[in-house]
Amino acid sequence: MADPNLKILVVDDFSTMRRIVRNLLKELGFANVHEAEDGVEGLNKLRSEGNFEFVVSDWNMPNMTGIEMLRAIRADEKLKHLPLLMVTAEAKRENIIEAAQAGASGYVVKPFTAATLDEKLKKIFATMK
């Protein structure tokens, strides 16, 4: 079973979406969820707090997109091992490839259910072990 204290950061500019993701994570037993509203804030939180263990990020955001944030994370010595699940509205092939190349740990297309999210998370955790 998942570690309920796993510290997760949800990055999305749409607060409704952050809430949806937060609720789905809660359904899966994760309660330690924090939020950021774009890549800039997300990266700041990751850097300043330092103890996040997982990131769920939207792709399309103002100021800094999810993919830009992901590249910055992978380029950061302290953060580069942080697993990141990319959330997008598209199942476009080139997007998936771009995300994979940038180092995304997983990719989930909106809308998704708790079960889908669970499956994606399990896959990511499995590869980490």
Partner 1 sequence: MNDFTGMEELLQDFLLEASDLLADVDSKLMDLEKRPDDKNTLNVIFRGFHTIKGGAGFLNATELVTLCHLTENLFDKLRNAELQLSPGLLDVILAATGEVRLMFNDLGRGVQPQSAPQPILDALEAALKGNAVSLSAAPAPAPAPAAPVISTALQAAAEKGPDWNALYQTLVGGVATPAPVAATATAPVVVAEGEVVVDEEKLKQSAFGRRTEDVPGRSAASASRREAEPAAKDNTIRVDTDRLDQVLNLSGEIGLTKNRLTHLRNDILGGRSDADTLKSLDESVSQLDMLVINLQNAVMNTRMQPIGRLFKKYPRLARDLARQLGKDVELVLSGEETEIDKTMIEDLNDPLVHLVRNSVDHGVESAEERAASGKSAKSMVYLSARQEGDHILISIQDDGKGMRPEVIRSKAIEKGLITLEEASALDESASLNLIFLPGFSTKDEISSVSGRGVGMDVVKTNISKLNGMITIDSAPGTGSTFTISLPLTLAILPVLLLRLSDQPFAVPLSMVREIMSVTAEGQQLISGRPTMVVRGEVLPVRSLASLIGWPDSGQSEVGVLMQVGNQSFILSADGFAGHDDVVIKSLDTFRPQGVAGVTMSSEGEIVLILDIKELLGEGNH
Choose between 41 and 58: whose C-beta lies nearer to partner 1: 58
Site string for partner 1, 64-83 (x = CB under 8 A): --------------------
Rounded distance between C-alpha atoms, residue 66 and residue 12, angstroms: 9
Rounded distance between C-alpha atoms, residue 70 and residue 11, angstroms: 11
Minimum distance from residue 71 beta carbon to partner 1 (Å): 19
Contact 61, 11 (CB under 8 A): yes
Q: Which of 5, 29, 44, 62 binds partner 1 (CB under 8 A)?
A: 62
Strands, E, within 38-105: which ranges? 54-58, 84-88
Binding site for partner 1 (CB under 8 A): 13-17, 19-20, 23, 58, 60-62, 89, 110-111
